[in-house]
A = this chain, B = another copy of it.
């Protein structure tokens, strides 16, 4: 019911970053794709199995460096049912390797439906008296546009099953300001969302000092991150936008608290496609990913201490 587990894993690895697993097919080394096409034809299954082999290699190489992985559901849903199946396989494998799993789904709906989404990823569903876990992750991302009654079902499952969520506050994309920066009484909407996040978080705070309800705050908006950091002393930040989206180490520093905690920085393409830069061969994709994850860790740790 807090961010304690995430904080523990971050401390164990000495690394406040998370490897995003957003496997576009063009990220997967060609030799893996070719092998899969030869076995399964030009099918969704072929794409999904190629992604699985890529993910497994990445997880094996990264599991002693990063505390967490963040699969982005869209890139699995894009390959239909085989893609979904590989998402579930990837999640199970990452958990087996001791990684904290943040499933990036940005789900949102009215209360009773939000409850179903929360059950799907954080909770358990009752089937004739038997409690079954449909897809067991540690944490999901959620969209706050529907207000409190679309979020509380997730918070309840955080309390019940010791899980966590990150709510979108200020996203990393160029047009995020169209709604998020709209001013009301001199205050941008993202600050109103931050105030709600603080309220949702308040009775979930664990021994780490951080609660179950965190915030997504893009690395591409470092000034806004400073303002939001002040509003949310007890919330963890999930920080996308580092690397390929243009955010650097100095841009993420505002998302951390003075204790060196409070944020986990995501890199997806930078880590997954590291083998495409420098002198790596395709077959070295996992080593290249590991080297980039180490470089990123050292860079971030150097600026926050």
The oligomer's copy count stands at 2
Q: A43-B132, A85-B81, A88-B81 are in contact. Are A113 and B72 (CB under 8 A)?
A: yes
Instruction: Provide the A251-295 mask, 1 if CB < 8 A to any CB of B, else 0.
Output: 000000000000000000000000000000000000000000000
Contact yes or no, A180 B145, CB < 8 A: yes
Complex: A197 Cα to B104 Cα, angstroms: 25
Contact yes or no, B179 A113, CB < 8 A: no
Selected contact of A75 from candidates B24, B113, B168, CB within 8 Å: B113
Contact yes or no, A120 B78, CB < 8 A: yes
Q: Say whether A196 faces chain B, with CB atoms less than 8 Å apart.
A: yes
A171, chain B: closest CB distance, angstroms: 5
Q: Say whether A304 faces chain B, with CB atoms less than 8 Å apart.
A: no
When C-beta atoms are compared, the residue in chain B nearest to A244 turns out to be B112
Contact yes or no, A176 B189, CB < 8 A: no
Q: How many residues of A contact B (CB 8 A)?
A: 72
Give the interface segment out of A58-66, A122-130, A202-210, A227-235.
A122-130
Q: Say whether A84 faces chain B, with CB atoms less than 8 Å apart.
A: yes
A119, chain B: closest CB distance, angstroms: 5
Contact yes or no, B173 A192, CB < 8 A: no
Q: Say whether A178 faces chain B, with CB atoms less than 8 Å apart.
A: yes
When C-beta atoms are compared, the residue in chain B nearest to A26 turns out to be B126
CB within 8 Å of B: which A110-160 residues: 110-111, 113-114, 116-117, 119-121, 125-130, 132, 134-135, 143-150
Which residues of the partner chain B approach A145 to less than 8 Å between Cβ atoms? 143-145, 168, 171, 179-180
A20, chain B: closest CB distance, angstroms: 10
Which residues of the partner chain B approach A119 to less than 8 Å between Cβ atoms? 78
Which residues of the partner chain B approach A98 to less than 8 Å between Cβ atoms? none
Which residues of the partner chain B approach A168 to less than 8 Å between Cβ atoms? 145-146
Q: Say whether A9 faces chain B, with CB atoms less than 8 Å apart.
A: no
Selected contact of A106 from candidates B75, B104, B107, CB within 8 Å: B107
Q: A74-B116, A74-B117, A116-B74 are in contact. Are A44 and B127 (CB under 8 A)?
A: yes
A111, chain B: closest CB distance, angstroms: 6
Instruction: Provide the A214-245 mask, 1 if CB < 8 A to any CB of B, else 0.
Output: 00000000000000000000000000100000
Q: Say whether A166 faces chain B, with CB atoms less than 8 Å apart.
A: no
Q: Which 8 A-B pairs have the closest CB atoms?
A: A147-B175, A147-B178, A80-B134, A42-B130, A74-B116, A110-B173, A77-B120, A149-B175
